[in-house]
Chain A
Amino acid sequence: MRKMEVGQFCSTSHVVIVAGKGGVGKTTVTATLALVASRAGLRVLVVEVEGKSGLASMFGVPALEYEEVALADRIKARFLTPDAALVDYLESHGMKRISKRLANSGALDVVATAVPGMKDILVLGKVKSLEEQRKVDLVIVDAPAAGHAVTFLVSARGLLDAVRVGPVRKQAQDVVELLTDPARCEVMLVTIPEETPVNELIETAFAVEDKAGVALGPVIVNGCFDPLPADVVATTDAITRDATALDRFVSEREANDLARAAAFRAERFEIQREQAERLAQRLPLPQLRLPFVFDADISRPDLDVLADALTREIEALPAR
């Protein structure tokens, strides 16, 4: 079987939207994917839509703003707000005067309430224009948390029903075109190998395909423990026996801690194996597994370890 090349994998779509429920490590996956793509020589732009600080701190840079900043070699990032995107849009469409008025009067709030998904369209519309400009090879969007992600992606279709004319409708049409073209856009769902997150990922996957019509890339299973070596027995007796053979002293308390920690890992590993299997049965998508990071704060060295792991996982996929 021919192996998947990382460069090819990262060029499947111009825009990758990373989505998943809160707490599964979406931002970590976004950062890791950006790193993998940049290593393959691609120019990457990461788009943050919720104003979280995680991404910037992982790369050790100050909080993101609307204007793009460099995170690393070939990786830039920016924080897209609907307000700034609206002003941006109107100004580039010859409506500079209106844009100031709309922004200053608070009209966007009323308009955004009147037109569901208006804010999402503004953000996705900006993503679309960034994609069209081709200044970067890959745009990675760190999407809102799961339930919101579906709303975020469906908003363009919903808006076509609500708004019959005008520039916003055109924007929504363009966004739908972007989202439904697999060569231009795909969604990469992230989960951790636990029961509820896996269930929610499956629900989100079907909603993304059926309701939003967006293509799904491989699923990222984040936070996977490696098993302990097969011949390790997690009992104090086995530990004492090995220690004696090596002429080393292991206190009873320490032997107990060693055994309990090993048993805990074995238990988690077993749960993870079951859940990953269940996910594979319910959702016929390739899985890319990322290791659990024991570090409290994920920083650049951790990202490099994760990027190595993701690279190995990608290369293990069959070539397309």
Chain B
Amino acid sequence: MTVTATSERALDQLVDQRRVVICCGSGGVGKTTTAAVVALEGARRGRNAVVVTIDPAKRLANALGLDHLSDTATEIDRSRWDPNGDAPPSGRLSALMLDTKSTFDRLITRNAGSDDQAQGILENRFYRNVSGALGGTQEYMAMEKLHELHEEGGFDLIVVDTPPTRHALDFLDAPKRLIRLLDNRIFRLLMMPTRAYLRVASVAVQAFLRTVSRVIGTEVVEDVVAFFRAFEGMEQGFRDRARAVEALISDPSTAFVLVTSPRRDAVDEARYFAQSLTAHHQTVEALIVNRVHPAFGDEAPEGLRARAEGLRSDTRDPEAAARLAALYENLADFRDIAIGERTHLESLRDRIGSATVAYVPFLAHDVYDFDALGEVANLLFVASDNAG
């Protein structure tokens, strides 16, 4: 499978010109690998690139020098990603593995009015639960990290891998969800007693809390109330931040790359992603299809099977006939796969508008080191000056 000339140029432009590339897609389609490849190609073209990974496979993480979760980006030694010294001197490559909790802690510390307020929240049990990658926190923190790197990191290409959620675009909705939580009636009720000393409201709140306590116990409810009260005065900071993250996501310098495999379930998910992105007024700029089977010619499987059947009843040289029949059946099977994959991908066409489509063939080995990442980059970006 080859990449068309137009897609080469469009993908090249994406890596050359965009500041933020968000890779999305369902789990198991090579999303993290693709994100790493895009960042690597950026660095090979002289950009100061960073890849933010969420949950990389161990060997890929090791290749990127990510032995543990890290709140800060670590630069990867040039000799590892550019062993022949082909990349322009300005090219740099860093990687970071999202640490949801410490990113959240930092956000709290930054927004708190005082050290005491920050401490009160960080030690709260409810907060400790919230910050531990639960209930969409990971999605929100991925976007928060993106914002932070964008504002302060000094990078000119930030490639973000997204969490493998079923609810595909949770990360896009995460800032909105936080705002919605702050607007939630219960949240407002909980905040009210300290805010306005409204005794009447307080009675209603107490009744409600008693109800909830019957189900989950008073301790939990007390934690929640304490958390929300500790939060007082920080709301505005959070709202502003959530809006800034939203603005960054919608910025024209941000590009969405949809990653998929040509399998039916992955393509179904990808179609859903593309649809949701459109609903969020975002465009898919490129579709990268990993693990594409070769086409093996263009014959119809039915004809190949008919030939196999004819051979099976050939008595002249039964052994040779059986061998040839097996080969025809095998070719028919792989033609079925190839046709199926193309049909699935075709069903995605009308959802992705004019997005560039690039294909990465089925590789003999999994991609987990810079040699292999470079190989994939060469497949996707053949026009690169540094393609070796």
Contacts and interface: CB of A to CB of B under 8 A. Distances in A.
Contacts of A110: 181, 184, 186-187, 224
Interface in B135-172: 135, 164, 166
B328 interface: yes
Contacts of B215: 90, 95, 98, 102, 111, 166-168
A262 B340 contact: no
The main secondary structure of chain B at its interface with chain A is helix
Interface in A262-285: 262, 264-265, 267, 271
A199 B59 contact: yes
A233 B185 CA distance: 71
A256 B223 CA distance: 69
B192 to A, nearest CB: 15
Interface string B211-226: 1111111111101100
A23 B311 CA distance: 36
B299 A164 contact: no
A107 B186 contact: yes
A168 B324 contact: no
Interface stretch (A5-13, A131-139, A293-301): A293-301
Contacts of B334: 261, 264-265, 294
Interface in B292-320: 293-294, 296-297, 299, 311, 314, 316-317, 319-320
Contact of B27 (A22, A101, A238, A296): A22
Classify chain B's interface size: 35 or more
B212 A257 contact: no
A211 interface: no
A141 B173 CA distance: 29
A138 to B, nearest CB: 25
A264 B26 CA distance: 26
11 contacts: A24-B28, A102-B211, A115-B129, A147-B55, A195-B368, A199-B58, A232-B323, A241-B320, A242-B323, A248-B324, A259-B327
Interface of B: 26-29, 55, 57-59, 125-126, 129-130, 132, 134-135, 164, 166, 181, 184-187, 208, 211-221, 223-224, 261, 263-266, 268, 293-294, 296-297, 299, 311, 314, 316-317, 319-324, 326-328, 330-331, 333-334, 336-337, 339-341, 343-344, 364-366, 368
| 7 closest cross-chain pairs (CB), A and B | A22-B27, A23-B28, A296-B340, A257-B297, A22-B28, A242-B320, A165-B217
Given A21-B28, A115-B220, A296-B340, 17 more contacts: A27-B265, A113-B181, A116-B134, A146-B27, A194-B366, A199-B57, A203-B58, A242-B323, A246-B316, A246-B317, A246-B321, A248-B324, A254-B297, A257-B297, A259-B327, A262-B330, A294-B336
